[in-house]
Structures are given as structure tokens and as C-alpha cells.
Amino acid sequence: MTETAPPLDTPVGRLVTATLAQADDGDTSTVSVLLPSVNLPRVDDGGAAGAAFEAVAVFTTTRSSIGGPTLVEGPIQSYASAAMAGNASRANPPTQCRFTAILNREPPGPGLLRVDGECTLPSTGYQVALVRQEPQGVNPRDLLLHLVVTPPGISRPALTTYPVSYEEPTTSDFDTVTILPDGVSVVVEKVS
């Protein structure tokens, strides 16, 4: 199945068309799906809440012949339709992040682990945070953090870099910090 045309935004929804089958000297079968616009609920914890929707699919057979559609007698197109249902959810935006981690164990203690980073996102208005993953993993020397990206209510397309940081007093001797969900691992620089 290949997309035959770019999606078309119409007053009644987004129309997406794809070719199902095509014969050089014969019929072509396509499917066109009319998808509604969907406003997703805001999610404060970075989760992916969804919204159920209904859509319509139209299956079209375009008749042709060795001489093209002008040699076909009768209707060129025939149609069948089907009701569809789905669940719209928020996709994680593409991110490019860089992180550093420093464990400062200088007296008087306890140590302080600080993780700093920058994440580049495709538009303005995002909120970006690092939170401690609970439960932690099986390796006590690897701190698991979760990158929470909250989408904007209103934004404009523009690559935007967001600073993000996390710190925690600790007596643990971490060697690495792993940032979820992507699993990026950062070696901890130790200062004493």
C-alpha cells in the first residue's frame, strides 16, 4: 500500500488516500479515509492519554483498459464504504537531547548529584523536566530518570532548545544516569 497523494485538510476532516493495488492495463484500487480533527486532553505527567474517534473509509475501484479509461463502458469508478473506529494519542515529539551528570562529594557531605541537559524540540511552548523513575532498576549504581515532555497548548513551529536539570542529595556512588524513555546513558563525573 502506497500513499497516492499528500493528506488533504478539508472542512470535514483530513482525507488520506492510498493505493491498494494497481494493474498497468487494468483496474486500480484505492482507499480514502476521512479522519476527524481531534483535540487531545492535556496530560501533566507526560503520559499519552487518547481520545476515541470514528472515521469513514471509501474503497474505490477505478476501471481502465489497455487503451485507458476512455475505452471503458459505463461508470469508471465504483465505491464501497466502511465505518472505522480508532484511538488518537499524542506522539512523542522528536527530541535531540544532550546531558551531563556531576556527583559532587566534597565535604561536608552528603554528595549532590546534578544532571543538566538541553533538549531541542520542533516548536515553542513545551515544558521539559527530569524526574526520578520509580521504581529504580536493578543496578544501584545507575540512577534512572524520566524525561517528561509536556506539549504546548499554543505554539509556533520553530526549533527551540529547552534547558532541563535535576539534582538530588545522595550518599550513593552512582556511575551512570540513564534517561528514559530513550535509554540514553550518561557517565557521572565525580568531584571530591
Total structural domains within the chain? 2
Bridge-based pairing state of the strands 184-191 and 176-180: antiparallel
Same domain, 25 and 61: yes
**pLDDT for res 167:** 96
Give me the pLDDT at residue 86, please: 80
Identify which of 45, 58, 131 has the alpha carbon closest to the alpha carbon of residue 90: 45
Same domain (yes/no): 74, 115:
no
Q: What is the pLDDT of residue 162?
A: 93
Do 132 and 171 belong together in one domain? yes
Whether 22 has a pLDDT exceeding 50, the answer reads yes
Please say which residue of 89, 121, 148 terminates a domain.
Answer: 89
Identify whether residues 48 and 122 lie together within a single domain.
Answer: no
User: Domain end: 67, 89, 111, which one?
Assistant: 89
How confident is the model at residue 4, as a pLDDT? 61
Residues 103 and 187 grouped into a single domain: yes
CA 2 to CA 59: how far, in whole Å?
A: 14
125 and 167 together in one domain: yes
Of 89, 106, 128, the position where a domain reaches its end is 89
Same domain? 125 vs 68: no
Which domain range does residue 50 map to? Answer: 2-89
* pLDDT tens per residue across span 64-97: 888 788 888 889 889 999 998 887 765 556 678 9
pLDDT per position as a tens digit, 105-162:
888 778 899 999 999 988 888 889 999 998 898 999 999 999 988 877 776 778 889 9
Tell me, yes or no, whether 81 and 130 share the same domain: no
pLDDT value of residue 145 = 94
Q: Which residues touch 115 (CB under 8 Å, ≥6 apart)?
A: 99, 100, 101, 130, 145, 165, 166, 167, 177, 186
150 and 179 part of one domain: yes
Q: Is the N-terminal amide bond of 135 cis, ω within 30° of 0?
A: yes
pTM of the full predicted structure? 0.53
- In this structure, the answer to whether residues 115 and 35 fall within a common structural domain is no
Same domain, 30 and 74: yes
Query: Same domain, yes or no, for 186 and 117?
Result: yes
Q: How confident is the model at residue 46 (pLDDT cuts 50, 70, 90)?
A: very low
